[in-house]
Structure 1
């Protein structure tokens, strides 16, 4: 199994923008066959080191993660995120 974790810091961290972006991310659920599970959460601490949104996805294999990366639905989300994010960090690991 592969766990894919991405943290997003948004250009506009208003509650409305965060909620809209969370909705866009959660919209992947059920649309990408390689995706085994998806969690999207909003930061509650709001410290200087915090990111605004976390995405945690699980895949059966590295090949499935690679298929997700090029899936048309994921590409739509990437387009949205490239417009709203200030920065992002990611980690992918096997477990």
Structure 2
């Protein structure tokens, strides 16, 4: 199993924008066959080092993660995130 975690810092971290962006991420559920699970959440601490949104996805293999990266539904999400994010960081590991 591969766990893919991404943290997003948004240009506009208003509650409405965070919720709208989380919904864009959640909309991938059920539309990408290699995506085994997805969890999306908003930061609750709002500290200086916090990111605004966390995304956790799981895949059976690195090959499936690679398929996810180029999937048309994920490409739509990337287009949205390119507009709204200030920065992001990620980590991928075997779980």
TM-score by length of 1: 0.99
Deviation, 1:40, is 0.1
Which residue in the other structure is 2:7 paired with?
7
What's the CA shift string for 1:15-56, capped at 9, x where partnerless?
Answer: 000000000000000000000000000000000000000000
- Matched length: 95
- Structure 2: unaligned runs, 5 residues or longer: none
RMSD: 0.3
Query: Secondary structure, in 3 states, of the residue corresponding to 1:16?
Result: helix
Which residue is 1:59 aligned to? Answer: 59
Task: Tell me whether 1:27 sits opposite 2:27 in the alignment.
Answer: yes
- Runs of 4 or more, structure 1, over 2 Å off, are none
